[in-house]
Amino acid sequence: MSVQPASPQPVSATVHALPRRAPPLAFPLRHLVLIKTVVWLLALLPVARLAIGAFSFALVDLPGGAALIALGRDLGANPLETITRSTGFSALVLLTLTLLVTPARQWLGQPWLIKLRRMLGLFAFFYAALHAMTWVWFDHFFDLREMAKDVFKRPFILVGFSAFVLLLPLALTSFNAAVRWLGGKRWLWLHRLVYVVAGLAVLHFWWMKAGKNDLAQPALFAAAMLLLAGARFAWTRRRARPPQAAPLDWLQVRRRD
């Protein structure tokens, strides 16, 4: 990735309503493809490690199996719990990263970051779906009555499940054509659901951990979400002009700044 060389002449001072920022990184499209591939692989890492752990019994006799198992995640005495917790945690991390994209893009002045957002969001959905699936399938074997009883006993599950259900329409309308069908404004409003999802997801985690008085991790996520919300709020207030075409800027591949 090549950084634009600093211009030798002093830039004429212009009056900015915005803080002075580093110029956006400029690099060719193929580098973006590379970056996306790396992010894609990193996002897959948690589920890949779980898969290695789940199939370690079959891998152990293969050549190089031991090395592979060392890279995987040991599922321990309670594999189902490990998988449930790991996928839930990954979903939360990816949701946080998704919400980090816009503030980071704004504060760092790197508009290209937006091109990672859809992928991160879809990975958040992917892990949330695996997380919900372990509960529906392995915990309750699709038994609706059992699930209803469990939700009644453990209301935090309902909160988590709502978060997952609200993520569904976002995942389903994540492709470019959906933005055109819905129209930018409506699409934007729909996708603001992600803030509700973030709130519910953190509450779900908080409530789950509250049983052991062990709130360090959920507090960290709550702080991150609040910080990101604060950054958005501060940014909107500092912005001199109202945002134009902001929701769709990730579509404008050849955007000029």
Residue ranges binding other proteins (CB under 8 A): 57-58, 61, 76-81, 138, 141, 149-150, 153-154, 211-214
- CB of 16 within 8 A of CB of 102? no
- Least distance from C-beta 219 to other proteins, angstroms? 14
- Least distance from C-beta 141 to other proteins, angstroms? 6
**Spatial distance between the Cα atoms of 216 and 116, rounded to a whole number of angstroms:** 29
- Least distance from C-beta 94 to other proteins, angstroms? 22
Nearer to other proteins, 8 or 142 (CB): 142
**Spatial distance between the Cα atoms of 114 and 100, rounded to a whole number of angstroms:** 10
Q: For tokens 């957002």, name the residue.
A: 117
**Spatial distance between the Cα atoms of 73 and 53, rounded to a whole number of angstroms:** 5
Intra-chain end-to-end CA distance of the chain, in Å: 19
Nearer to other proteins, 10 or 57 (CB): 57
- Least distance from C-beta 208 to other proteins, angstroms? 10
Nearer to other proteins, 212 or 254 (CB): 212
**Spatial distance between the Cα atoms of 175 and 36, rounded to a whole number of angstroms:** 16
Nearer to other proteins, 215 or 226 (CB): 215
